[in-house]
Structure 1
Amino acid sequence: MTATTATQRRLRTEIPGPASRALQERRAAVVAAGVSSVLPVYVTSAEGGLLTDADGNVLIDFGSGIAVTNVGHAAPAVVDRVREQAGRFTHTCFMVTPYEGYVEVCEALDKLTPGTHEKRSVLFNSGAEAVENAVKIARAATGRQAVVVFDHAYHGRTNLTMALTAKSIPYKHGFGPFAPEVYRVPGSYPYRDGLSGPEAARIAIDRIEKQIGGDQVAAVVLEPVQGEGGFIEPAPGFLPALSRWCTENGVVFVADEVQTGFCRTGEWFASTHEEVVPDLIATAKGIAGGLPLAAVTGRAELLDAVPPGGLGGTYGGNPIACAAALGSIEIMRQENLAASAKRIENTVLPRLRALAEETGVIGDVRGRGAMLAAEFVKPGTTEPDADLTKRVAQACHQAGVVVLTCGTYGNVVRLLPPLSLSTELLEEGLSVLDHAVRTEASK
């Protein structure tokens, strides 16, 4: 199957069409019911910011595979490097016979991640793996066990990362017992708590010191902008205050930048917005243009505290995924995708804010770069309106625009377009969203 040559949204059938519905029937007979899909259209090709399905419909992608295809679908530099690497070898296991690509990715992470200190990296397959290994590293380096996380956090689906994640359904319900020595404290949710960053940080730190004890904490793990929890951007000063407290108390400050990393928020990493330098940073998603790759990068003394053999995995840093990452990073640099993310922000936020003012059903518009959100509420209140959120998303899907929802209350529409998306397609997708909100809000 070759990449689509479509250049604009096009609907040939209803969504989903007959070919996708037939595939859905086949799926129901063989795929576990626990695996859900936002939109049951079956993609046959994709290019840039467009998806072509089995019925020939072309959809604008405002999801990027959940912030993965930052460089766009089928980006040539990624495809070329993957093709060349696959022709040489597909796997040896870096823990058995290593290869240069793994080293090159770690060299790139050394230069790109915040801070000028000496760093080390280790590569994995998924964001959950990266976060879980960051906790392992912190525990090994500090000799402590307690891990602090925050309300509304999402960190993954493994046993430990489910414990770190706040929301029960669908991520945790029925899957316990969970890993011990995980403690949850309030974060910063400006729309709902009304607190300044330093005020929110003082509450969190007070809770840590009173209920756990700073000298017992191995790591504080947080997302610089919370993802699944609702694209919650903490109030200014929250992250720096927590980072300072960690330094003063010998606690490892872990930034989960799985969703925020690689130019998504208008900087290479979201921590940079407030000049926060994490001790460890977990990355995945946008690193490799769609191939499974993740990393933990951080202070050399922390990663080197784990003895040989203590970190790794059969597929971690797979050579094809490493090749894709090098191609993806090349595109981000050459095309200045951090600046492109800011272009997207400057286009989207004014339109969402105008829509909020005119309709009265959007309580908050927030985000940075190409990680943007609208929180839907019942008019005149802050009461979450999950039903309207669902209807708006479905209306967008029916019109050929892929949007995602999120949030502890299920009332946030999030926009994660490829950073390379043209302004024309961005504007067209926003017009579809605008129409969906106005139409559904009037019902």
Structure 2
Amino acid sequence: MSALEQSRHLATAIPGPRSCELIARKSAAVARGVGTTMPVYAARAFGGIVEDVDGNRLIDLGSGIAVTTIGNASPKVVERAAEQLHKFTHTCFMVTPYEGYVAVAEALNRLTPGDGDKRTALFNSGSEAVENAVKIARSYTRKQAVVSFDHAYHGRTNLTMALTAKSMPYKHGFGPFAPEIYRAPLSYPFRDAEFGKELATDGELAARRAITVIDKQVGADNLAAVIIEPIQGEGGFIVPAEGFLPTLLEWCHANGVVFIADEVQTGFARTGAMFACEHEGIVPDLIVTAKGIADGMPLSAVTGRAEIMDAPHVSGLGGTYGGNPVACAAALATIETIESDGLVARAAQIETLMKDKLGRLQAEDDRIGDVRGRGAMIAVELVKPGTLEPDPELTKNLLAAAHRAGVIVLSCGTFGNVLRFLPPLAISDELLLEGLDVLELILRDL
């Protein structure tokens, strides 16, 4: 696999003939509701390159939505997962447990913020882990209400759809949703500037605004948990103003409310820290992880304070596939690779490279309203020239042209006007900058 050349190469127009055949087969065989971003079908992937079935090599600035953080088919992950496959594929941890599950729990208890006694439970997906975090918080507090935030994304199951802010495509037509879910305003510095500089830059002030809404709409006596992404993912890679998260956490602790950090997209070195909470020095009560945890194998977790995690009764948590042994082997190899290869520091280097390049582009082009993010989780918010008005059409056209040029890049944001960059930390500087150069040329043409 390492023989996959790390260079962009267009062997055919995109999509090529084999991909076109597969597009037709998908239409005939796969449910219409399962959409795809790229018009190509992958054949191989390694490092910062995805090769399609027609031999086109694409620069990967998406990492399968922040999953293959250490690079696709990373050697240690392949080796350890293959070893486990030869031993056994499944016994169900709740029936015949195995060491891999325990070892992953030990690693997460060690790595997540906070020095106190912690416990972990493993699941399959981010949505499933979020649902279990809410279950645990409700069991511990004996309260029911949960608050999430504007622009939030927490998943596609019924409860997590209720927690998610954006209707289309995630919620439209799928209700009714789980009850006792409430929403509070987020700190969104770029857009809060419309209401004054102080609100845009003072996270504590923005948090007080949110707390006022929570007090009025819910009341701490009814509130089991507040759940928040330390940097929002689907909502637009929004980094709250400094002080927002610590003020919320302080209020939660003063009022007997569990603070849940959803680090599904931000976890495991992605933001230039092992977890995004570390940037503001906060220690959540519960932290939800998935995506980058196992380099592409399905695994997720809830980790947190022992007295909260141990609140549910025995057998109240679990699932047939949760903590699958092959996924656990991949997770242990992923964590080892992050630590041995210095990938937390590498994410910080990528941030410097990207913000330097994109910042210079922003200075020349008033359609780039904002450049934000941390580590290898960077976003560009596109607006109509000289305004704050979102420009989803420009975003859509830029993405389509980038895909035709062999660069995988994704969009996000409540208004559909944010380009998000999630390069694997294994990508070379040269490949990363080439991908950004392609986008710059396209933006100039548009």
TM-score (ref. length: structure 2):
0.98
2:205 partner amino acid: E
Paired residue secondary structure (1:277): coil
Q: Deviations over 1:53-104 (max 9, x none)?
A: 0000000000000000001011000000000000000000000000000000
> Is residue 95 of structure 2 the alignment partner of residue 96 of structure 1?
yes
Q: 1:3 to 1:52 in 2, by over 3 A?
A: farther
1:25-174 alignment runs, 5 A limit: 25-174=24-173
Q: Deviations over 1:248-290 (max 9, x none)?
A: 0010000000000000000000000000000000000000010
Paired residue secondary structure (1:379): coil
Q: Which residue of 1 aligns with 2:185?
A: 186
TM-align CA RMSD: 0.7
2:331 corresponds, among 301, 325, 335, to 325
C-alpha deviation, 1:407, in angstroms: 0.2
C-alpha deviation, 1:420, in angstroms: 1.4
Paired residue secondary structure (2:433): helix
Paired residue secondary structure (2:152): coil
> Is residue 349 of structure 2 the alignment partner of residue 350 of structure 1?
no
1:389 partner amino acid: T
Given that 1:4 and 1:46 are in contact with CA atoms closer than 8 Å, whether structure 2 keeps it comes out as: no
2:307 partner amino acid: E
Identity %: 64
- 2 CA distance for matches of 1:6 and 1:17? 19
Q: Which residue of 1 aligns with 2:220?
A: 214
Query: Structure 1: 5+ residue runs without aligned partners?
Result: none
- 2 CA distance for matches of 1:437 and 1:414? 15
Q: Deviations over 1:283-304 (max 9, x none)?
A: 0000001000000000000111
Given that 1:139 and 1:145 are in contact with CA atoms closer than 8 Å, whether structure 2 keeps it comes out as: yes
C-alpha deviation, 1:145, in angstroms: 0.3
1:392 corresponds, among 394, 398, 412, to 398
2:400 partner amino acid: Q
- 1 CA distance for matches of 2:72 and 2:445? 31
C-alpha deviation, 1:4, in angstroms: 5.3
2:119 partner amino acid: R
1:244-283 alignment runs, 5 A limit: 244-283=250-289
1:337-416 alignment runs, 5 A limit: 337-416=343-422
2:151 partner amino acid: H
Q: Which residue of 2 aligns with 1:6?
A: 5
Q: Which residue of 1 aligns with 2:305?
A: 299
1:30 partner amino acid: A
C-alpha deviation, 1:347, in angstroms: 0.3
Paired residue secondary structure (1:70): coil
Given that 1:254 and 1:278 are in contact with CA atoms closer than 8 Å, whether structure 2 keeps it comes out as: yes
Q: Deviations over 1:320-360 (max 9, x none)?
A: 00000001001000011110101100000011111112121
C-alpha deviation, 1:3, in angstroms: 6.1
1:205 partner amino acid: I
- 2 CA distance for matches of 1:363 and 1:93? 49
C-alpha deviation, 1:433, in angstroms: 1.2
Q: Deviations over 1:118-162 (max 9, x none)?
A: 000000000000111000000000000010010000000000000
Q: Which residue of 2 aligns with 1:177?
A: 176
Given that 2:260 and 2:287 are in contact with CA atoms closer than 8 Å, whether structure 1 keeps it comes out as: yes
Q: Deviations over 1:300-326 (max 9, x none)?
A: 001111011100000000000000000
TM-score (ref. length: structure 1):
0.98
C-alpha deviation, 1:212, in angstroms: 1.0
